[in-house]
Amino acid sequence: MKGILTGSRYWTNVPQLERELDALNLTFLAVGDCPCQRCKRLEECDPACPGVQSADAIGFRWAKRKGIPGRLYRANWGRFRNAAGPIRSERMVRDNLDATVALACIVDFDVCKGTRRCAQFIRDILKFEPREIAERKETT
């Protein structure tokens, strides 16, 4: 099953997202790249970067650990400025027209405007509803 992951840069619940991904039996995962403009690629991201704990970063590391192929989609902030995120999200969806599942990881819909926009691209282009996951705070 081919999937798309879009999510908040503020997502921190690693176990919750990994459980969701484990349940999908994915064979491919498309994710956005680190939302930090300083970073070149997710795998080279500085540990202090806020993108390190994003839903995208968690999904990328999960797929890599499981041996699941995928693709990182990077926003070109220098060239497109504020339009970079939406351009990247639409490209990620259009490049994966055969995706059968999509996860939208939400911390707060008022904060997660990029996630909300990508979810709308999925609805408009792929013609299915992405599965929205609200972050839960884990108790120990």
Assign residue 31 the CATH number of its domain: 3.40.50
Confidence class for position 38, pLDDT limits 50, 70, 90:
low
- Whether residue 42 is contained in a domain is answered as yes
Mean pLDDT value of segment 82-104:
95
pLDDT at 47 over 60: no
What's the pTM value of the predicted model, to 2 decimals? Answer: 0.86
Is 122 domain-assigned?
yes
Rounded distance between C-alpha atoms, residue 95 and residue 89, angstroms = 10
- Examine residue 139 and state whether it is found in any structural domain, yes or no: no
Percentage of residues in the chain having pLDDT higher than 90: 51
CA–CA distance, 117 with 123 (Å, rounded to integer) = 10
How many CA atoms lie less than 13 Å away from 100 in the CB half-sphere?
Answer: 7
| Relative orientation angle of helices 14-22 and 55-66, to the nearest 10 degrees | 50
Range of the domain at 114: 2-134
Q: Does some domain include residue 98?
A: yes
Residue 86, in any domain of the structure = yes
Measured distance between the N- and C-terminal CA atoms of the chain, rounded to whole angstroms: 33
